[in-house]
Amino acid sequence: MGKYNSQKKQVLDCIMSLVAKGFVQGTGGNVSLLLEDGSAVAITPTQREYATMTPDDICIVDFDLNPLEESGTAPSMETAMHLAIYRSRPDVGAVVHTHQIFASVFSLISEPIPALFDEVSGAIGPKVEIVPYALSGSKELADNVVSKLGNRANCYILQNHGALSLGRDLNHAARNAELLEKAAQVYYYALTTGRTVSVLPQNVQDLMSLIVTGRQDEEIKRRRG
């Protein structure tokens, strides 16, 4: 048994679940899990077909991108972006990057998704912001993502690219990706009617924001002991 087998299996199970939902295809998208001690991450490899992936293909790298275990694969080209998120958001324990269809629609029209449903906003935050475009795997993209993390939301849309969903663990990050897709799909159809789209009242949005940040603060406190 390898030292990181459990974490590798969790990452593989998560990415395969996203494949089954159509949120990632082929070799696109990536998933990472922060190790409990916060020293390294388990992350999907680059340019590897998910259909043939095994736990041994999942990479373990520290925050200087040094491999901690031989996997025979290179980590995702977006690893630096994942690491930048963990550095900036101490509440985050897992990152899911997807190319899900309806969220990707809004990545092309650069339209943020407002607060539409309390059960969604209470999990991902009142507003899904657009992260300005930069080339995949570039430092500029990582910097652009970090520039938006201050709103403490759990979902973001990458312009002309896809979506990011964050969570305290992989289950929550993947669930947030599902909630994002629900909001994006319904918002898309609502916009096609040409009618005014109602959003949650501001006082409810403020409450949802407090709920999200309160949970994040609890997670930060737990991690810091």
* Residue positions annotated with a catalytic role: 78
CA distance 38 to 180: 27
**135, two tokens:** 């080339």
N- to C-terminal Cα distance for the chain? 29
CA distance 112 to 107: 8
Bridge partners, residue 61, by sequence: 41, 67
DSSP, collapsed to helix, strand or coil, labels residue 167 as strand
Burial class (CB in 10 A: 0-12, 13-18, 19+), 224: exposed
AA identity, residue 198:
S
Name every residue whose Cβ is closer than 8 Å to that of residue 173 and which is 6 or more positions away in sequence. Answer: 14, 31, 94, 95, 96, 154, 165, 166, 167
Name every residue whose Cβ is closer than 8 Å to that of residue 219 and which is 6 or more positions away in sequence. Answer: 91, 93, 168
The answer to whether the Cα torsion of 201, 213, 183, 179 is positive or negative is negative
